[in-house]
A and B are shown apart, each in its own frame.
Chain A
Amino acid sequence: MGILVRLDEQLHARRMTLTELAARINITVANLSILKTGKAKAIRFSTLDAICRVLECQPGDLLAFDATLPSSED
């Protein structure tokens, strides 16, 4: 998939662990891990909203598009 998730970089910049973020936005670590590793098929606006509030960032800081990567339908 051409969409890259940069959650790891944002967490690292704020010295926050995945477990801590999961607890603060009330999502299981397993689900957040799926998002972090780029295995998620979709992200809810409510999840994005919660992450952006806690990490004080914009959706664009978390997601990026790389046209060189194959699409999910390939």
Chain B
Amino acid sequence: MTRIPTHALTLARPAIQVLTVLNLLYGCAILAFFIASWVVPDWPAKPLGYDPATMHDYVPMGLRTLQLMGLVLVGLVHLILRRLLAIVDSVRDGDPFVVANARRLQTIAWCLLGIELLRLAVTGIGAAVSIKSLGSNGFSLGPWLAILLLFVLAGVFMRGARMRADLEGTV
């Protein structure tokens, strides 16, 4: 039974590193699209199927806002991956039950909350500028439960780490 978590931890480090690189590449791509939206005429409205002659005035600004939100999302994901890597490293070093890891878990929970709020905002903006591909992203209870669980886990971790610190130096 303990083998699966051990293997998961062994695989976690390279997986997180690959995801970090992919996330940064994704960020670079969004940044390139964002810059292109100011330089290339009717980009990315035209490739998305908008007719520049008939589309609403707020469509280009809406699309740019979505790209900026994408960049914020990349930043939040990067923060999560860095904190996760630090937690995995602390397990490898043999001392994961520390206050620093509780704080890292808390940061991950806040980032996930930010991502979920961004997702709702993106859905709203998508609906406003009539992007059909974003229309299906409605409210889902799962992510919110995961966020709640993470905050609770961070709290439990913090209490446990402090209790352990209290026991240090006990003879």
Contact = CB atoms under 8 A, between A and B. Distances in A.
Interface of A: 27, 31-32, 34-35, 39-44, 47
B169 A39 contact: yes
B170 interface: yes
Interface of B: 166-171
Given A31-B171, A43-B171, A44-B170, 7 more contacts: A32-B171, A35-B171, A39-B169, A40-B169, A41-B166, A42-B167, A44-B171
Contacts of B169: 34, 39-42
A42 B164 CA distance: 13
Contacts, number: 24
Nearest to A40: B171
B148 to A, nearest CB: 35
Contacts of B171: 27, 31-32, 34-35, 40, 42-44, 47
Nearest to B170: A42
A43 B170 CA distance: 5
Nearest to A27: B171
A44 to B, nearest CB: 6
Nearest to B165: A41
Nearest to B168: A41
A34 B171 CA distance: 8
Contacts of A42: 166-167, 169-171
A11 to B, nearest CB: 15
A41 B171 CA distance: 8
Contacts of B168: 41
23 contacts: A27-B171, A31-B171, A32-B171, A34-B171, A35-B171, A39-B169, A40-B169, A40-B170, A40-B171, A41-B166, A41-B168, A41-B169, A41-B170, A42-B166, A42-B167, A42-B169, A42-B170, A42-B171, A43-B170, A43-B171, A44-B170, A44-B171, A47-B171
